[in-house]
């Protein structure tokens, strides 16, 4: 069988190799080449979907090669239901992103495309790695192209600040995670006699609670920053707002998911007792994120910042769902990751398109855009509704499942979270009203051009999936069912540990 | 009275002899040839280094001692030879064009570099305290002179004098420490004998031993530029010719760490708990001060000077760990550091041009799109120094912090990674300037000479390759670290 995952990881790097030798002045060729390559990549990723066996929770498409066997490090790839959807989301969005750069990126196109492809390779690597060392390498490598995307092509005024902030925040968390990985590695080595970074081998390890406690926090910090959970979210509005459109799309759609994915793949299964112990803390942080993100979105004057803060709120839902450890909660969380990728990605594209035309993103500069731009208005409306969770569109499915799962475990949390849905409707619809409806008050808006065919073409696939997930979510839920079941069974074993904090600090908790 | 001369094999010091011969040949050539003739000093030096490298290769896997137990003939020594030789070869390659700019492409420069290299190798091989001192002096005196190579330049004079005065002071400390150790251990300075004599707690806790240990740490601390013995570093690094700064940062540090590690791991293993706390403090202070102060630097050479202090701190972490992995990581890290640091200094020389007129970090503004190749290379070095994968710098740090965690120093590892985070800030700033700031002025042409281009290509490729495929060097290092069975 073809090593599909390796192909997906290294094809973009091969593309980088080719791009280096292309003429930097010929933008068209550069963009066409990247578009072609990302389409090939997408096609190459389709077999993952069709040959995926959704009956089993075992890792599939496994590839394993020795890398540094003396150290127990291997090049070990494989996917299950969780990673399948996220990898497909990545390969699905990248061609759309390349299309979106057509008019947007006009200088240093070659370098931009190189960064984009390198980023893609890193993202797929993160989702496919089953070796802690390999995962860490991809996790860090991916920072560099994203940092450059924000810093070089971002908004001139504050791009450097945003880029450095992004880099340092993420690095801070991941370095502590590195120490925790090492502690885990040596603990596992001493306990079992085999020193390995193989994630699946470490899964079954029973770790004393006080160690789980600290390691959960170390891993959790890295992922919570990436998600981002309140109070580690402050890098996000800056990074999102200053990044170029495509940077924001990828950041929102894929990079944030690495945080939530990290919780699912690493934090919870590795440290199950600690995960249960931290349910209240993380749920409450998630709730704060939901409500706080929504409230802050409401008062934003800048469209892009509004969308950015709405991400904090949406990701809060995901985290809340994951920390229920119930079937609907986790499945909802995963589907909500995809939803957020589609809807928020689309919202950033929408904002980017209006910015290309007007060079402003201030809500106050707009008003009545639906008159000159009817197609734009329609698409914007659908995406807005999807984002606030209208039944029949994708957002509803995710949020409903998450609330269902949460209600089962803690009705109070569910009630508070439900207010988030209402707030979301408030800020999104209010924003939509101010931008699209009413009379055209600003004469500059009178003759805005509606979407071009290229721009519509970007949205059609997005809208297709927005409706598809909304109408028939089972297509996607089925893929994650077995994995989720297995995951919950794994977590169930750890349920019911009662430990107090003082025991942890004294190192008594076993 | 009969005098017995112990048997010895010249082959075990073959590399030293070759380098010394090369140096003498250069001096003779310089003296005998007419001025203005084309010189081949760099070529001769490279040839000597290559032959020495080959001899090291032939020596590989030999074990034991030679010259009446004065030197070790083992893989730990040989791997250090290799690291030092790589450093020397790259230094020679970056030197020529730079020296020609200053009209200082002199024979004595290359001869002194080779002599210093011999001193470094001597330190790496020493089995006796006196040999360490000998090596240290052979190396240091050559480097003092090299730092003052630009006689007309006040800063170069300052560098040389400062290094000489403080260096002599530190040497005295070291020597004094050895003298006390001689007394404490009952009349021996062989490292393996010291280990035996110092094995029991009674001898260990004698004030004399403690004092000796303290003085030794001061002496070594000075050479590796550990805080608080680092005061000379920024001024000397800034004032010395850039090629020599690179040589000091890489070669001198490697040699000093070779001797330092050998003494600590071999002579004082029983003393582990005591010197560990001392080194723990030194390591933390060194990393933190180096990294924090580097943030404030605007001169690239000063920045790299503080960064080199910080890297000494990381290496001290490996010493603190005092396990097999620690020894392995010192070797691996020094190799990685040699490549990435020499590469970075190569870029500094290229960008500096005409007598170092562009040494401010702001001179790197806009480099990214004016000289893409150069900027990519510099970015690789910066990311490597910051310890970001997939570079050798990351793998090196990974080993070091692994060693610390394995030895149970989790806090030290946490402080270490947090220091890496601080360092990311100033390394990243160079890439920010190169890619995200417009050029303040047109940088003008950069003359790529074959030597410098070769260095950049070799080091950048090396940093990436041994970062992505660390297995080969890991095995070499593991093989070499076996000489410390006590760890």
Residue B146 has a pLDDT of: 93
**B389 to A140: CB separation less than 8 angstroms, yes or no:** yes
Strand-pair category, A73-79 with B71-72 = unpaired
Predicted confidence (pLDDT) at residue A510 exceeds the cutoff of 60? no
C-beta atoms surrounding B155 within 10 Å: 14
Predicted confidence (pLDDT) at residue B67 exceeds the cutoff of 90? no
Average pLDDT, chain B: 90
C-beta atoms surrounding A310 within 10 Å: 28
End-to-end CA distance of chain B: 43
Are the C-beta atoms of B264 and B322 separated by less than 8 Å? yes
Burial A232-242 (b: 16+ CB within 10 A, else e): bbebbbbbbbb
pLDDT band at B448 (very low <50, low <70, confident <90, very high): confident
Are the C-beta atoms of B185 and B193 separated by less than 8 Å? yes
Separation between Cα atoms, residue B481 and residue B487, nearest integer Å: 9
Mean pLDDT of the B458-483 span = 91
Closest partner residue to B405 (CB to CB) among A143, A175, A183 is A183
Q: Give the residue on A whose Cα is nearest the Cα of B386.
A: A171
**A152 to B435: CB separation less than 8 angstroms, yes or no:** yes
Separation between Cα atoms, residue B77 and residue B34, nearest integer Å: 40
C-beta atoms surrounding B96 within 10 Å: 22
Residue B268 has a pLDDT of: 80
**A178 to B417: CB separation less than 8 angstroms, yes or no:** yes
- A245-256, pLDDT tens digit by residue? 999 999 999 999
* Chain B stretch 195-224, residues whose beta carbon is closer than 8 A to a beta carbon of chain A: none
**B475 to A148: CB separation less than 8 angstroms, yes or no:** no
Q: Which of B287, B366, B405 to mutate to test the interface with A (most CBs of A within 10 A)?
A: B405
Structural domain boundaries of chain A? 302-492
Predicted confidence (pLDDT) at residue B383 exceeds the cutoff of 70? yes
pLDDT band at B450 (very low <50, low <70, confident <90, very high): confident
pLDDT band at B301 (very low <50, low <70, confident <90, very high): very high
Q: Which of B410, B417, B473, B482 to mutate to test the interface with A (most CBs of A within 10 A)?
A: B417
Average pLDDT, chain A: 90
The ipTM of this complex is: 0.93
**B435 to A178: CB separation less than 8 angstroms, yes or no:** no
Residue B167 has a pLDDT of: 92
DSSP string, B276-313: HHHHHHHHHHHHHHHHHHHHT--BHHHHHHHHHHHHHH
**B406 to A186: CB separation less than 8 angstroms, yes or no:** yes
Strand-pair category, A73-79 with A60-68 = antiparallel
Does the CB of B428 have a partner CB in chain A at under 8 Å? yes
Q: Position of tokens 């502690």? A: A183
DSSP string, B206-275: SHHHHHHHHHHHHHHHHHTT-TTS-THHHHHHHHS-HHHHHHIIIIIHHHHHHHHHHIIIIISGGGHHHH
When mean pLDDT is compared across A84-98, A124-138, A359-373, the lowest value belongs to: A359-373
**A182 to B402: CB separation less than 8 angstroms, yes or no:** yes
| Closest chain A C-alpha to B406 CA, distance in angstroms | 6
Residue B200 has a pLDDT of: 76
3-class SS at A499? coil
Q: Give the residue on B whose Cα is nearest the Cα of A151.
A: B436
Q: Which of A137, A181, A211, A244 to mutate to test the interface with B (most CBs of B within 10 A)?
A: A137
- In A, which residues are within 8 Å of B425 by CB distance? 164, 168
The shares of helix, strand and coil residues in chain B, as percent rounded to the nearest 5, are 75, 0, 20
pLDDT band at A132 (very low <50, low <70, confident <90, very high): very high
- B78-133, pLDDT tens digit by residue? 999 999 999 999 999 999 888 888 888 888 899 999 999 999 999 999 999 999 99
The count of C-alpha atoms lying within 13 angstroms of the C-alpha of A461, restricted to the half-sphere facing its C-beta, is 16
| Closest chain A C-alpha to B443 CA, distance in angstroms | 19
* Chain B stretch 367-386, residues whose beta carbon is closer than 8 A to a beta carbon of chain A: 369, 383
Q: Give the residue on B whose Cα is nearest the Cα of A136.
A: B389
- In A, which residues are within 8 Å of B410 by CB distance? 179, 183
3-class SS at A508? coil
Mean pLDDT of the A127-154 span = 92
Radius of gyration of chain B (CA): 22
Are the C-beta atoms of B251 and B87 separated by less than 8 Å? yes
- Secondary element (H or E) of residue A65: strand A60-68
- A208-244, pLDDT tens digit by residue? 888 889 999 999 999 999 988 988 999 999 999 889 9
- A345-365, pLDDT tens digit by residue? 999 999 999 898 888 888 888
What is the signed CA dihedral for A227, A231, A232, A238, rounded to 10 degrees? 90
Residue A288 has a pLDDT of: 94
Which pair of structure tokens corresponds to residue B413? 């590892």
Predicted confidence (pLDDT) at residue A509 exceeds the cutoff of 70? no
3-class SS at B437? coil
Percent pLDDT > 90 in chain A is 56
Predicted confidence (pLDDT) at residue B202 exceeds the cutoff of 80? no
**A182 to B383: CB separation less than 8 angstroms, yes or no:** no
Q: Which of A9, A171, A185 to mutate to test the interface with B (most CBs of B within 10 A)?
A: A171
- A462-507, pLDDT tens digit by residue? 999 999 999 999 989 988 889 999 999 888 887 766 666 667 676 6
Are the C-beta atoms of A195 and A71 separated by less than 8 Å? yes
| Closest chain A C-alpha to B390 CA, distance in angstroms | 7
**A185 to B402: CB separation less than 8 angstroms, yes or no:** yes
Separation between Cα atoms, residue A136 and residue B387, nearest integer Å: 12
Residue B359 has a pLDDT of: 85
DSSP string, B34-63: PTTSPP-HHHHHHHHHHHHHHHHHHHTT--
- A12-67, pLDDT tens digit by residue? 999 999 988 988 888 888 999 999 999 999 999 999 899 888 888 888 899 999 89
Q: Which of B375, B432, B433, B437 to mutate to test the interface with A (most CBs of A within 10 A)?
A: B432
Which pair of structure tokens corresponds to residue B118? 């011999």
- A250-306, pLDDT tens digit by residue? 999 999 999 999 999 999 999 988 898 899 999 999 999 999 999 999 999 999 999
Predicted confidence (pLDDT) at residue B417 exceeds the cutoff of 90? yes
Separation between Cα atoms, residue B440 and residue A479, nearest integer Å: 55
- In A, which residues are within 8 Å of B474 by CB distance? 68, 70-71
Residue B138 has a pLDDT of: 94
- B307-362, pLDDT tens digit by residue? 999 999 999 999 998 889 999 999 999 999 999 999 999 999 998 877 777 888 88
Predicted confidence (pLDDT) at residue B441 exceeds the cutoff of 80? no
Does the CB of B437 have a partner CB in chain A at under 8 Å? yes
Cα-to-chain-centroid distance, residue B430: 23
Closest partner residue to B417 (CB to CB) among A148, A160, A179 is A179
What is the signed CA dihedral for B466, B470, B472, B477, rounded to 10 degrees? 100
Residue B436 has a pLDDT of: 87
């Amino acid at each position: 069988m073809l090593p599909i995952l390796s192909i997906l990881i290294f094809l973009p790097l091969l593309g980088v190799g080719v791009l280096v030798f292309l003429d930097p002045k010929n933008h068209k060729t550069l963009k066409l080449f990247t578009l072609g390559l990302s389409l090939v990549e997408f096609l190459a990723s389709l077999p993952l979907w069709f040959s995926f066996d959704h009956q089993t929770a075992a890792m599939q498409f496994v590839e394993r090669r020795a890398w540094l066997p003396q150290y127990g490090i291997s090049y070990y790839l494989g996917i299950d239901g969780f990673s399948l959807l996220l990898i497909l989301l990545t390969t699905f969005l990248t061609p759309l992103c390349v299309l979106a750069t057509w008019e947007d990126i006009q200088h240093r196109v070659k370098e931009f495309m190189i960064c984009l492809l390198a980023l893609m390779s890193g993202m797929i690597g993160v989702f496919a790695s089953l070796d802690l060392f390999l995962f860490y390498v991809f996790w860090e490598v991916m920072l560099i192209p994203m940092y450059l995307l924000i810093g070089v092509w971002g908004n001139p005024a504050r791009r450097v600040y945003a880029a450095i902030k992004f880099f340092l925040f993420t690095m801070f968390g991941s370095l502590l995670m590195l120490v925790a990985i090492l502690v885990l590695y040596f603990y596992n080595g001493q306990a079992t006699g085999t020193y390995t970074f193989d994630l699946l081998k470490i899964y079954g390890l029973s770790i004393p609670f006080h160690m789980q406690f600290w390691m959960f926090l170390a891993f959790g910090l890295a992922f919570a920053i990436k998600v981002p959970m309140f109070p580690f979210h402050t890098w996000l509005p800056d990074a999102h707002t200053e990044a170029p459109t495509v940077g924001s799309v990828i950041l929102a759609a894929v990079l944030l998911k690495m945080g939530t994915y990290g919780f699912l793949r690493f934090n919870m299964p590795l440290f199950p007792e600690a995960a249960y112990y931290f349910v209240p803390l993380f749920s409450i942080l998630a709730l704060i994120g939901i409500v706080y993100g929504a409230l802050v979105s409401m008062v934003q004057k800048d469209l892009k910042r509004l969308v950015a803060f709405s991400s904090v709120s949406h990701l809060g839902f995901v985290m809340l769902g994951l920390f229920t450890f119930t079937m609907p909660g986790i499945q909802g969380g995963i589907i909500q990751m995809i939803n957020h990728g589609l809807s928020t990605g689309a919202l950033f594209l929408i904002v980017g398109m209006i910015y290309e035309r007007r060079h402003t993103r201030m809500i106050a500069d707009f008003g009545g855009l639906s008159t000159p731009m009817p197609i734009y208005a329609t698409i914007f409306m659908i995406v807005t509704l999807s984002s606030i969770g209208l039944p029949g569109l994708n957002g509803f499915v995710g949020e409903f499942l998450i609330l269902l799962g949460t209600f089962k475990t803690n009705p109070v949390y569910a009630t508070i979270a439900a207010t988030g849905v209402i707030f979301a409707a408030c800020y999104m619809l209010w924003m939509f009203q101010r931008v699209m409806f009413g009379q055209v008050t600003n004469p500059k808006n009178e003759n805005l051009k509606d979407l071009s065919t290229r721009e519509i073409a970007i949205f059609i696939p997005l809208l297709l999936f927005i409706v598809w997930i909304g109408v028939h979510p089972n297509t996607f839920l089925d893929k994650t069912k077995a994995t989720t079941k297995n995951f919950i069974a794994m977590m169930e074993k750890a349920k019911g540990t009662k430990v107090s904090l003082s025991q942890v600090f004294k190192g008594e908790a076993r | 009275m009969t005098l017995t001369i112990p048997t010895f094999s010249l082959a075990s010091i073959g590399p030293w002899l070759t380098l010394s011969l090369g140096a003498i040949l250069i001096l003779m050539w310089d003296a005998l040839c007419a001025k203005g003739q084309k010189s081949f000093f760099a070529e001769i030096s490279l040839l000597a280094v290559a032959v020495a490298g080959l001899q090291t290769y032939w020596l590989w896997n030999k074990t034991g001692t030679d010259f009446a137990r004065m030197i070790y003939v083992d893989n730990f020594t040989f791997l250090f030879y290799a690291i030092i030789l790589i450093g020397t070869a790259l230094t020679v390659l970056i030197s020529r064009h730079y020296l020609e700019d200053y009209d200082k492409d002199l024979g004595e420069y290359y001869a002194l570099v080779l002599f210093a290299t011999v001193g470094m190798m001597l330190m790496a091989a020493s089995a006796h305290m006196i040999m360490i001192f000998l090596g240290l002096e052979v190396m240091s005196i050559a480097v003092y002179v090299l730092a003052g190579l630009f006689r007309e330049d006040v800063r170069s004079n300052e560098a040389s004098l400062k290094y000489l005065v403080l260096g002599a002071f530190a040497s005295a400390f070291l020597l004094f420490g050895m003298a006390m150790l001689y007394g404490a251990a009952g009349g021996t300075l062989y490292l393996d004998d010291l280990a035996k004599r110092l094995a029991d707690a009674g001898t260990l806790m004698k004030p004399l031993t403690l004092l000796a240990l303290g003085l030794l740490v001061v002496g070594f601390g000075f050479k590796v530029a550990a805080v608080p013995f680092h005061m000379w570093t920024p001024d000397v690094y800034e004032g010395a010719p850039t090629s020599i700064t690179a040589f000091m940062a890489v070669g001198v540090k490697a040699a000093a760490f070779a001797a330092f590690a050998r003494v600590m791991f071999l002579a004082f293993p029983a003393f582990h708990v005591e010197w560990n706390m001392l080194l723990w403090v030194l390591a933390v202070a060194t990393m933190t001060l180096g990294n924090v102060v580097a943030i404030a630097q605007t001169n690239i050479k000063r920045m790299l000077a503080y960064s080199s202090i910080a890297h000494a701190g990381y290496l001290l972490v490996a010493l603190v760990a005092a396990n097999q992995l620690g020894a392995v990581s010192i070797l691996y890290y020094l190799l990685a550091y040699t490549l990435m640091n020499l590469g970075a200094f190569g870029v500094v020389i290229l960008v500096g041009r005409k007598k170092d007129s562009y040494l401010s970090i702001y001179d790197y503004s806009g480099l990214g799109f004016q000289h893409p190749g150069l900027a990519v290379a510099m970015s690789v070095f910066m990311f490597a120094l910051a310890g970001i994968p997939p570079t050798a710098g990351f793998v090196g740090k990974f080993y070091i912090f692994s060693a610390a965690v394995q030895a149970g120093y989790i806090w030290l590892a946490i402080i270490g990674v947090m220091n890496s985070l601080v360092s990311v800030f100033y390394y990243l700033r160079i890439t920010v300037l190169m890619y995200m700031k417009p050029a303040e002025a047109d940088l003008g042409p950069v003359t790529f000479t074959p030597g410098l281009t070769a260095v950049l290509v070799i080091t950048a490729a090396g940093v990436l390759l041994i970062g992505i495929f660390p297995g080969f060097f890991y095995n070499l290092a593991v093989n070499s670290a076996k000489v410390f069975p006590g760890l």
